[in-house]
Amino acid sequence: MSQIIQNLAEVSQNYRALFVDLWGCVHNGITAYPDAVKALQSYRKSGGIVVLVTNSPKPRAGVMDQLGQFGVPEDAYDTIATSGDSARAAMFTGAVGQKVYFMGEWQRDWGFFEPLNVIDNPIEITRVPLAEAEGIVCCGPFDTQADPSVNRADFLLAKTNGLKLLCANPDIVVDRGHTREWCAGALAKLYTEMGGESLYFGKPYPPIYDLARRRLAEVDKSIQDDEILAIGDGPHTDISGAMGEGIDSLFITGGLAAQETKTNDQPDPEALKTYLDQEKSAPTFSIGFLR
């Protein structure tokens, strides 16, 4: 059974670094959670290192700008690893070809196509209509409220043409304030179910953890996996990823699973146990909200 704790400080002294999810843990897609910010600031003041590990399709600089808009101060974290950066590296090395069909909101996601200087001899990427594409780059739905099934006709053509889909954000859904939205992961899941091939780079898949460790090493090279605590509200992303990497985890029950775990301030122990058993998830610790 996952141990329910009252606050991060109860266990944080056992870890030298945190891998912290953003959406649902540090902010709600609109504004920061003050208690979460204070907890991270306090942890850093005690000597700990905070790596924000997010399934955002944005590059690191874009996430930093967004955090500022949400009210998350820079002294709450040390560095950032994004699914977007991990996926961009794959795109610029030819994972889905040079001519790509883009899915997402261009005004929001254009940064995904900005040059990535860490790649030697990156290929030139051109956005084209689906019928001319060699692959798909999916940063999210065109309409976050529309059911993913609206893409079936396009996905059938893509599968017939043998296109791979690069998923820049494996999340299925997020809650923006009180509104639930579909993410790129829902489209990639549908494409896979239809027989297409989807490539993933965010949580729970290894590439983003490799990136997070590299970002951590830029701050302190000596930290080992058993000295890291992963924090997040997604059982199939944050917790599953941590389990796969052999990293302890703290499950934020008041995020995506607030209803299932009957979380008001803290989760109901029996509801939490039922939910974790159902999801086959085994976080080391659980808490209602990061504080």
Co-location of 141 and 171 in the same domain: yes
Q: What is the pLDDT of residue 258?
A: 96
Do 41 and 118 share a domain, yes or no?
Answer: no
Of 180, 200, 220, at which residue does a domain stop?
200
pLDDT for res 181: 96
User: What pLDDT was estimated at residue 115?
Assistant: 85
Domain around 30: 3-55+205-287
Residue 129 lies in a domain: yes
Residue 248: in which H helix or E strand, if any? strand 248-252
- Examine the domain organization and report whether 130 and 47 are in the same domain: no
Residue 72 resides in a domain: no
173 and 248 share a domain? no
Peptide bond into 34 cis (omega under 30): no
| CATH code: domain of residue 249 | 3.40.50.1000
CA–CA dist 177, 3 (Å, integer): 28
Residue where a domain terminates, one of 200, 233, 260: 200
Residue with tokens 């494409």: 191
Q: Does residue 123 sit in the same domain as residue 98?
A: yes
Model pLDDT, residue 164:
98
CA dist., res. 157 & res. 150, Å (int): 13
Give the model's pLDDT for residue 209.
97
Residue 65 in any domain: the answer is no
Q: Specify whether 135 is located in the same domain as 46.
A: no
29 and 124 co-located in one domain: no
Q: Out of 177, 200, 223, pick the residue that ends a domain.
A: 200
The answer to whether residues 187 and 216 belong to one domain is: no
**Same domain membership, residue 234 and residue 151:** no
pLDDT tens series, the chain, 291 aa: 899 999 999 999 999 999 999 999 999 999 999 999 999 999 999 999 999 999 999 999 999 999 999 999 999 999 999 999 999 999 999 999 999 999 999 998 999 998 877 777 899 999 999 999 999 999 999 999 999 999 999 999 999 999 999 999 999 999 998 899 999 999 999 999 999 999 999 999 999 999 999 999 999 999 999 999 999 999 999 999 999 999 999 999 999 999 999 999 999 999 999 999 999 999 999 999 999
Same-domain pairing of 183 and 96? yes
- pLDDT value at residue 50: 98
Task: Label residues 193-228 b or e (16+ Cβ within 10 Å = b).
Answer: eeebebbbbbbbbebbbebbbebbeeeeeebeeebb
Number of domains in the chain: 2
Query: Is 243 contained in some domain?
Result: yes
